[in-house]
Amino acid sequence: MEVTPAGGAPGSQEGPAVEPPVELPIDAVRPPRPGRLIGAAVALLFLAWLAYTVIVNENLHWDVIVSFLGDGRILGGLWVTIQLTVLSMVIGLVLGVLAAVMQLSDSPVFRGTSALYTWFFRGTPLLVQLIFWFNIGLVFPSFGIGVPFGGPKLVEWQANELITPFTAALLGLAINEGAYMAEIVRAGIRSVDPGQREAAEALGMSHRQVLRRVVLPQAMRVIIPPTGNQFISMLKTTSMVSVIAGAELLTVAQRIYLGNFEVIAMLIVASIWYIVLTTIASVGQHFIEKRFERGHAALGARVRRNLRPFAKEPA
């Protein structure tokens, strides 16, 4: 049977040249949505009323709030909050990677140790842990380096000197955070295709090289978003340290209102700074995630390729 070319079919393409496609604009009328309008009106009215009551309320002492926003003691507390957040996140991340790697190892002892760690620190309240670390001197009056199980010591420190509110806070926050980061890191490592590990091992890489050069860099894409959430949450969690007088933002605000009785005003000052910190962190998180979303690799390539003509100019 003979196949006729499409154009040669009888009577098909014989008229004038192809007409331009007809434009069919859509200019549809929206159906009325009275429910939405009424809802919006109610919401706006409520917000206006809320703003009004807050602004005209004399018990809120807006002048005091404004004058204390830049107070030296408050800024000092703010700085401690930032330090505690960053340090405990960094230490927590290291502990988390360690615990996650142990959890995925062949050795039952490593797996057990890691499981015990996450089980205990996720199973007890952070508040209790903080008070515990602060009072650790009651259990272990001194720390030393030497022969374990009651042998002689080379160096020895008194717990009372070592454990300040800051170190107790850092210990509590970091060790607790590590237990949560372990889960996040483990999920990240799990997300990497096992074939990656095999390809790296086939090149003769050691376990540690496989982890550092191949697995962890790829796990980062999965690890980064929840770590951002942990960071934001940690900014606020540091306020718990106020139970051991950690000298961070909330502790400082409390100390001030014990003197001037401006309880609500000081709490609002602290809250404003917490909101500023979490907002900045959220914006940062948004940008970091955007970068990692966009096919991390392809983005780098695009940037480099676009830059090449300029880089290669002097030749």
Which one, 216 or 235, has the nearer CB to other proteins? Answer: 216
Task: Tell me the closest approach of the beta carbon of residue 139 to other proteins, in angstroms.
Answer: 40
Please name the amino acid found at residue 245. Answer: A
Which range of residues in 21-29, 43-51, 80-88, 209-217 is near other proteins by CB under 8 A?
209-217
Instruction: Return the residue of 124, 142, 158, 206 that touches other proteins, per CB under 8 A.
Output: 206
Task: Tell me the closest approach of the beta carbon of residue 109 to other proteins, in angstroms.
Answer: 17
Distances (CA, A) of 258 to 67, 81, 172, 254, 264: 17, 20, 26, 6, 11
Residue 204 and residue 145: Cα distance in Å, rounded? 39
Which one, 127 or 301, has the nearer CB to other proteins? Answer: 301
Task: Tell me the closest approach of the beta carbon of residue 98 to other proteins, in angstroms.
Answer: 19
Instruction: Return the residue of 305, 309, 310, 311 that touches other proteins, per CB under 8 A.
Output: 305
Which one, 174 or 222, has the nearer CB to other proteins? Answer: 222
Residues contacting 67, CB < 8 A, separation 6+: none
184 and 221 Cβ atoms separated by less than 8 Å? no
Site string for other proteins, 176-205 (x = CB under 8 A): -----------------x-xx-xxxxxxxx
How many residues lie near other proteins (CB under 8 A)?
A: 26
| Element counts in the chain: helices (H) and strands (E) | 13, 2
Instruction: Return the residue of 61, 111, 207, 255 that touches other proteins, per CB under 8 A.
Output: 207
Q: Does 209 bind other proteins (CB under 8 A)?
A: yes
Which range of residues in 48-56, 157-165, 206-214, 261-269 is near other proteins by CB under 8 A?
206-214
Coil/strand/helix, residue 141:
coil
Residue 97 and residue 106: Cα distance in Å, rounded? 16
Instruction: Return the residue of 218, 233, 271, 278 that touches other proteins, per CB under 8 A.
Output: 218
Q: Does 217 bind other proteins (CB under 8 A)?
A: yes
Residues contacting 266, CB < 8 A, separation 6+: 68, 253, 254, 256, 257, 260
Positive/negative CA dihedral, 208, 210, 215, 217? positive
Which one, 290 or 304, has the nearer CB to other proteins? Answer: 304
Residues contacting 243, CB < 8 A, separation 6+: 127, 130, 131
238 and 245 Cβ atoms separated by less than 8 Å? no
Q: Does 312 bind other proteins (CB under 8 A)?
A: no
Please, what is the angle between helix 72-103 and helix 108-123, to 10°? 150
Q: Does 293 bind other proteins (CB under 8 A)?
A: no
> Residues interacting with other proteins, by CB under 8 A?
193, 195-196, 198-207, 209, 213-214, 217-218, 295-298, 300-301, 304-305
